[in-house]
């Protein structure tokens, strides 16, 4: 069987874990890494033996690109790849822009005969699929999603949003459960010399990522000691006749990367079937995300 040829676009935490996830996927082959021109030549020891380029078209035949760059930059990069006819997967995490993203990417993917699976991390992504299944079993009710696992967790999307603010040298944004599906955000920042702490704090609190939640911002000498890779969530749908809960906890970029790599498989399959378009995780059959032959996919059904 021919392997699915995958490129990783962006070399942050998620990109690094995508490489690991690909290594344990016998149906996939990592063709190369795409980075910004100014990053070429960096991280040489961990990238040893890999082709690292700034233009994806210099790589030999890429079936699917795993776009592992900050969420807000992802849709533009995805558009650029779709125009080249390359299938894409990303873990775009801005929940209230999912529909708009679908509307922007779908006609483009159709006209360029390719497939994009977007918003495909663990939340949105697999959690969204589980939320849909909870509804299938118990149609009338309310699902509560609480992030932060048992002890709070590091949100990659929120962290990246803070890091993008001028004057912020480094940052960590932790998500803490605050009851009834609400959250607190605990943001640790290292400031550039001369940066205005009050102004940056206001900017963080006004950011769409933070505007709905109680947000504490703390300036520290070094954010590293507040850092963690762990995150998690708890979904609950509790109705008088049916009670369901789902909990997930673990290494955040690993969980994201595993879902993205599985989505590359589903994107490849959709393209093979000529089912072009931009899809959320719940628009593709779950079986297409699993490796192996049909019989193996049904194992444990």
Q: For binding to a second copy (CB under 8 A), which residues are involved? A: 21, 24-25, 95, 98-99, 102, 119, 122, 124, 126, 128-133, 135-140, 143, 239, 241-251, 254-255, 258-259, 262, 280, 282-287, 289-291, 295, 297-298, 300-301
* Nearest CB to a second copy, comparing residues 10 and 121: 121
* Nearest CB to a second copy, comparing residues 164 and 287: 287
* Nearest CB to a second copy, comparing residues 185 and 237: 237
* Nearest CB to a second copy, comparing residues 137 and 164: 137
* Nearest CB to a second copy, comparing residues 63 and 288: 288
At closest approach, how far in Å is the CB of 257 from a second copy?
A: 10
Cis peptide before 274 (omega within 30 of 0): no
Sign for the CA dihedral angle at 145, 149, 152, 157 comes to negative
At closest approach, how far in Å is the CB of 121 from a second copy?
A: 10
Distance of alpha carbon 170 from alpha carbon 83, whole angstroms:
34
At closest approach, how far in Å is the CB of 295 from a second copy?
A: 6
At closest approach, how far in Å is the CB of 289 from a second copy?
A: 5
* Nearest CB to a second copy, comparing residues 33 and 266: 266
Spatial CB neighbours of 124, under 8 Å, sequence gap ≥ 6: 92, 93, 95, 98, 280, 281
Long-range contacts of 23-28 (CB under 8 A, 24+ apart): 25/261, 25/265, 25/291, 26/291, 27/1, 27/3, 27/265, 27/291, 27/292, 28/3, 28/4, 28/261, 28/264, 28/265
65: part of which helix (H) or strand (E)? strand 64-67
Distance of alpha carbon 36 from alpha carbon 9, whole angstroms:
9
């Amino acid at each position: 069987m021919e392997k699915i040829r995958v490129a990783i676009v962006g070399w942050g935490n998620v990109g690094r874990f995508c490489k690991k996830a690909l290594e344990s996927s016998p149906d996939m082959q990592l063709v190369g890494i795409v980075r910004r021109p100014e990053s070429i030549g960096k991280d040489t020891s961990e990238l040893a033996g890999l082709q690292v380029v700034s233009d994806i078209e210099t790589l030999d035949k890429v079936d699917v690109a795993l776009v592992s760059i900050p969420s807000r930059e992802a849709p533009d990069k995805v558009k650029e790849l779709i125009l080249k006819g390359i299938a894409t997967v990303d873990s775009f995490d801005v929940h209230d822009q999912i529909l708009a993203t679908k509307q922007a990417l779908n006609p483009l993917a159709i006209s360029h005969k390719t497939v994009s699976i977007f918003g495909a991390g663990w939340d949105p992504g697999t959690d969204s699929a589980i939320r849909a299944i909870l509804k299938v079993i118990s149609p009338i009710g309310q699902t509560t999603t609480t992030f932060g696992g048992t002890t709070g967790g590091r949100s990659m999307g929120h962290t990246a949003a803070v890091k993008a603010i001028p004057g912020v040298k480094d940052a960590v944004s932790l998500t803490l459960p605050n009851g009834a599906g609400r959250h607190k955000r605990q943001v640790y920042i290292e400031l550039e010399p001369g940066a205005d702490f009050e102004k940056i704090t206001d900017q963080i609190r006004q950011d769409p990522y933070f505007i709905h939640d109680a947000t504490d911002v703390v300036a520290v000498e070094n954010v590293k000691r507040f850092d963690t890779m762990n995150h998690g969530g708890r979904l609950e749908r509790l109705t008088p006749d049916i009670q369901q809960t789902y909990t997930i906890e673990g290494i955040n970029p690993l969980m994201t990367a595993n879902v993205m790599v599985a989505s590359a498989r589903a994107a490849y399959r959709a393209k093979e079937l000529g089912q072009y378009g931009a899809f959320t995780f719940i628009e593709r059959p779950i079986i297409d995300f699993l490796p192996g032959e049909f019989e193996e996919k049904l194992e444990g059904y």
